[in-house]
Amino acid sequence: MIRKWLSALRTGRIGQLYKPGQHSLEENVVYRLGHDGHCLVIVQAGIADREIEATQNCTAELRLYIDGPIIFLLFNFGPGQWNDAPFSWHTMPRSSRLYPEQVADTATLAVTLVEATSGIVRAAREIAMTHDFAGKLNTAITAQANGSFNGLSYAKHLNLVYNQYTAGDMAEMASVHMVLK
């Protein structure tokens, strides 16, 4: 699925359905590592023109916060607020689990903004991550993949983090960051 999405992104599918046949999607923010690289999909309702502009053209700031078994990709486009996408290699379907060295592009983050009420792609952008940021993200994913995992502990820890911190708090505590103007 992610490979199809990236192909769609690179061939200019803005204005088309994100998932063919689905005209309504659940609001969600998902970060994944797929065959073609790092992907961030933001599905939200009521997307304003300024959010489309910010996602596509404004300064992009990325930060990485690791708390126990969870990698949080934090992002901010333009004047917006911080948002987060939690990631665990172990929660991916077995057939989709990849180590960074198995991926075609580990230095680019493909971002897609989708209107939840229509399923239409409203904005898309590829962000060239700095060498330092991409290296630390890929190293964190490899370490996570090689570690042990308990689904119940993961879920409890995720709830604990969200009960203690906002995305802005996590951005302040981030171990690495980058800004792309």
For 106-117, the pLDDT digits (tens) are: 999 999 999 999
pLDDT band at 171 (very low <50, low <70, confident <90, very high): very high
**Which pLDDT does position 181 carry in this prediction?**
85
Phi, psi of 23 (to 5 degrees): -100, 5
Q: Which residues of 59-72 are buried (b: 16+ CB within 10 A; e: fewer)?
A: ebbbbbbbbebbbb
- Going by C-alpha positions, the residue among 53, 99, 96, 60 that lies closest to residue 77 is 60
Q: What is the rounded average pLDDT of the residues 51-78?
A: 97
pLDDT band at 7 (very low <50, low <70, confident <90, very high): very low
pLDDT over 50 (residue 6): no
Q: What is the rounded average pLDDT of the residues 43-60?
A: 96
- Going by C-alpha positions, the residue among 3, 93, 72, 80 that lies closest to residue 39 is 3
Whether pTM > 0.85 for this model: the answer is yes
| Mean of the per-residue pLDDT values of the chain | 93
Residues whose CB is less than 8 angstroms from the CB of residue 157 and which lie 6 or more positions away in sequence, other chains included? 67, 68, 69, 70
- The percentage of residues in the chain with a pLDDT greater than 90, rounded to a whole number, is 90
